[in-house]
């Protein structure tokens, strides 16, 4: 067995009264891919922040290759050979591949005070070569495909190898959570390539991914490390048992469940067009129906959803709700008319970081929570407390600032925002399960069904084909800005959707 490269011993970290890490001990051996999984709020990101120098532990010891490690910031971590790849790509699109890979370390290519561009490209080519890549170092980054950009991102992290004169330790924070199926595959392939060049700590909510690429897996629960085993000795059910203390049932439609109470009321979209994003879009969404939209990034589906919430008005066409033609100049119009929107980019569009859970949940509905001219604080508090409990939001104090919540818990707050003041007529859900642990995914899946059962029409963009098929009643496929097909979900297979999305 190889020796540990990185050893974390009894590390603790608290934020106010919250113990985010409680005596956590883990180790990563040379050339090993180690998985780190846990429910939302279990401490995964906090551990990565400690290891990348973004925050200091309160107690405990970290050693790297036998030497005690004290990190005052990310620059210290990079010097020691620890690099982090964040959820989203951090490359500068208008720079060349070589400039991105060597960013911050261009002095390695300085000759008599001038940049030697040939030397810079050669240094970058060395990093790309480590991953067996043939991408040209002089290519502009925004001319590359997503998968190629991901290779550049990893090559950039691998460049710390020369600076630290050691095999790097690479921290991957949910690198697949924002991606569609094809891109997830590309990232998992890159992780396989990293094995043997570096030691990797891989955080993911997708247990099947952890079981596929990791040699060993650690499970965190409420800030403690509760299990650690080789991949071969774990199964999905065991992992869930350790994460939640019990096995989870599967949130599938019960075949005996009565059909959604669909009615003739609902949303109709006619000849909607916004060039170059989409054109001639037509569909109906009845009350109580869940309509899934399949399509790859750039198919126009995100832009279409934004039009239906008044963020990006269409050039032409008609949006009709319950027989009334809507003029959606801005999101406030959509909210007033009963349309809710849970965006994919919740941390940017969904959450106001400086406000509390309570303020975030009630922000768009204050009018509906008033008794006469005054805000009914008791009712507001009772509703917010109800949804905190219903969605298992932790920490559960309504006054907690939203920026102190883990990513998954922030997401639950954004969803609750549309539920506190009575149901909207139409709810647009853009990747509603993204970033949630498997338990929360199951809770939200059941909740989405209940919302549809209660008569809300739901327009859904999902992370995976399976999620789209399981949740939807019917599915439209968008390709290059037009609707290329409309199918009942029950008889559609994931492979068919994949072909339809990419068919030319
Ligand atoms: N800056 C902060 N201030 C206060 N509390 C914080 C802060 N950062 C994290 N926490 C709390 O620490 C706990 C662990 O959070 P962390 O983000 O590490 O969880 P996580 O496992 O990464 O969750 P997720 O899967 O949802 O991203 C949570 O209860 C969170 O609310």
DSSP string for 453-489: HTT-EEEEE-SSHHHHHHH-SEEEEEETTEEEEEEEG
The radius of gyration of the chain's CA atoms, rounded to the nearest angstrom, is: 24
Q: Is the CB of 405 under 6 A from ligand 1?
A: yes
CB of 195 closer than 8 Å to CB of 33? yes
Report helix, strand or coil for 100.
Answer: helix
Indicate whether 289 and 372 sit together in one domain.
no
**Tokens 């969404």 correspond to what residue?**
285
Indicate whether 166 and 283 sit together in one domain.
no
Last residue of a domain, one of 212, 244, 276: 244
Copy the structure tokens of residue 273: 């067009």
- Would you say residue 251 lies in a domain? no
User: 376 CB contacts (<8 Å, ≥6 apart)?
Assistant: 369, 370
Indicate whether 290 and 408 sit together in one domain.
no
Instruction: Give the residue, by CA position, lying nearest to ligand 1 atom 19.
Output: 41
Phi-psi group of 300: left, alpha or beta (phi > 0 → left; psi -120 to 50 → alpha; rest → beta) = left
Q: Is the CB of 40 under 6 A from ligand 1?
A: yes
Q: Which domain holds residue 192?
A: 4-244
Instruction: Give the residue, by CA position, lying nearest to ligand 1 atom 28.
Output: 41
Sign of the alpha-carbon dihedral angle for 55, 60, 63, 67: positive
**CATH code, 274:** 3.40.50.300
Measured in Å, residue 13 CA sits from the centre of ligand 1 at: 11
Torsion angle of the four alpha carbons 106, 108, 113, 116, in this order, in degrees rounded to the nearest 10: -80
Measured in Å, residue 53 CA sits from the centre of ligand 1 at: 16
Last residue of a domain, one of 397, 423, 449: 423
Copy the structure tokens of residue 391: 């969605």
How far apart, in whole angstroms, are the C-alpha atoms of residue 66 and residue 53?
18
CB of 83 closer than 8 Å to CB of 90? no
Report helix, strand or coil for 198.
Answer: strand
- Would you say residue 79 lies in a domain? yes
User: 57 CB contacts (<8 Å, ≥6 apart)?
Assistant: 11, 12, 13, 21, 50
Q: Is the CB of 395 under 6 A from ligand 1?
A: yes
Report helix, strand or coil for 427.
Answer: strand
Strands 482-488 and 4-15: unpaired
Indicate whether 70 and 215 sit together in one domain.
yes
Which parts of 398-437 fold into alpha helices (H)? 407-417
Instruction: Give the residue, by CA position, lying nearest to ligand 1 atom 17.
Output: 406
Indicate whether 220 and 147 sit together in one domain.
yes
Instruction: Give the residue, by CA position, lying nearest to ligand 1 atom 16.
Output: 43
- Would you say residue 147 lies in a domain? yes
Report how many domains make up the chain.
3
Indicate whether 404 and 432 sit together in one domain.
no
Q: Is the CB of 438 under 6 A from ligand 1?
A: no
- Would you say residue 252 lies in a domain? no
Give the pLDDT of the chain (504 residues) as one tens digit per residue: 567 999 999 999 999 889 999 999 999 999 899 999 998 899 999 999 999 999 999 999 999 999 999 999 888 998 899 988 876 667 899 999 999 998 877 777 777 777 788 989 999 999 888 888 889 999 999 898 777 888 888 888 888 877 777 889 999 988 877 666 666 777 788 888 888 788 999 999 888 889 999 999 999 999 999 999 999 888 888 888 888 876 555 444 443 444 444 455 799 999 999 999 999 999 999 999 999 999 877 788 989 999 999 999 999 999 999 999 998 888 889 988 999 998 876 665 678 888 999 999 988 766 667 777 777 788 889 989 999 998 889 899 999 999 898 877 888 898 888 888 677 899 999 888 887 888 888 888 888 998 899 899 999 998 888 889 999 999 999 988 999 888 899 888 877 777 777 654
The number of helices, as runs of H, and strands, as runs of E, in the chain is: 17, 24
Indicate whether 307 and 430 sit together in one domain.
yes
Instruction: Give the residue, by CA position, lying nearest to ligand 1 atom 12.
Output: 20
Instruction: Give the residue, by CA position, lying nearest to ligand 1 atom 1.
Output: 404
Indicate whether 178 and 236 sit together in one domain.
yes
Q: Is the CB of 342 under 6 A from ligand 1?
A: no
Indicate whether 218 and 351 sit together in one domain.
no
pTM assigned to the model: 0.74
Indicate whether 132 and 273 sit together in one domain.
no
Q: Is the CB of 15 under 6 A from ligand 1?
A: yes
Torsion angle of the four alpha carbons 52, 53, 58, 60, in this order, in degrees rounded to the nearest 10: 50
- For residue 321, cis peptide bond before it (omega within 30 degrees of 0): no
Last residue of a domain, one of 211, 244, 277: 244
| CA 63 distance to own-chain centroid | 31
Indicate whether 330 and 354 sit together in one domain.
no
User: 405 CB contacts (<8 Å, ≥6 apart)?
Assistant: 41, 357, 393, 395, 413
């Amino acid at each position: 067995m190889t020796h540990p490269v990185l050893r974390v011993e009894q590390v603790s970290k608290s934020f106010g009264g919250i113990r985010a890490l409680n005596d956590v001990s883990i180790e990563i051996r040379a050339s090993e891919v180690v998985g780190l999984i846990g429910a939302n709020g279990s401490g995964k990101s906090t551990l990565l922040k400690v290891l990348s120098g973004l925050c200091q532990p309160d107690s405990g010891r970290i050693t790297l290759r036998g030497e005690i490690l004290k990190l005052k910031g990310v620059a210290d971590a990079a010097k020691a050979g620890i690099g982090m790849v964040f959820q989203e790509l951090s490359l500068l699109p208008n720079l060349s591949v070589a400039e991105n890979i060597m960013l911050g370390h261009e002095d390695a290519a300085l000759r008599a005070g001038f940049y030697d561009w040939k030397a810079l490209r050669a240094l970058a080519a060395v990093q790309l070569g480590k991953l067996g890549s043939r991408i040209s170092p002089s290519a502009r980054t925004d001319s590359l495909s997503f998968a190629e950009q991901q290779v550049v991102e990893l090559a950039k992290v691998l460049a710390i190898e020369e600076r630290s004169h050691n095999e790097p330790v690479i921290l991957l924070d949910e690198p697949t959570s924002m991606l569609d199926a094809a891109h997830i595959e590309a990232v998992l392939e890159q992780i396989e390539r990293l094995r043997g060049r570096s030691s990797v700590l891989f955080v993911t909510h997708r247990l099947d991914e952890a079981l596929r690429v990791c040699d060993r897996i650690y499970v965190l629960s409420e800030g403690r490390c509760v299990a650690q085993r080789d991949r071969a000795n774990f199964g999905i059910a065991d992992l869930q048992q350790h994460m939640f203390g019990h096995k989870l049932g599967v949130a599938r439609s019960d075949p005996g469940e009565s059909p959604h109470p669909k009615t003739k009321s609902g949303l109709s979209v006619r000849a909607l067009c916004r060039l170059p994003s989409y054109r001639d879009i037509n569909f109906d969404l009845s009350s109580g129906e869940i309509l899934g939209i399949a399509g790859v990034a750039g198919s126009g589906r995100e832009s279409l959803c934004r039009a239906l919430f008044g963020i990006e008005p269409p050039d032409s066409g008609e949006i009709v709700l319950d027989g009334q033609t809507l003029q959606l100049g801005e999101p406030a119009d959509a909210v007033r008319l009963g349309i809710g929107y849970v965006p994919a980019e919740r941390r940017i569009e969904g959450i106001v970081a400086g406000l509390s859970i309570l303020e975030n949940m009630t922000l768009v509905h204050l009018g509906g929570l008033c008794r006469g001219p005054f805000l009914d604080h008791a009712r507001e508090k009772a509703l917010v407390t109800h949804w905190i409990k219903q969605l298992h939001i932790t920490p559960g104090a309504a006054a907690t600032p939203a920026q102190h919540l883990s990513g998954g818990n922030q997401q639950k707050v954004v969803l609750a925002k549309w539920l506190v003041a009575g149901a909207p007529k139409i709810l647009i859900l853009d990747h509603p399960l993204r970033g949630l642990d498997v338990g929360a995914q199951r809770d939200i899946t059941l909740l989405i069904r209940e919302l549809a059962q209660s008569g809300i029409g739901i327009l859904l963009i999902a992370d995976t084909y399976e999620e789209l098929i399981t949740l939807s009643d019917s599915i439209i496929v968008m390709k290059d800005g037009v609707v290329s097909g409309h199918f009942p979900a029950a008889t559609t297979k994931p492979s068919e959707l994949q072909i339809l999305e990419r068919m030319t």
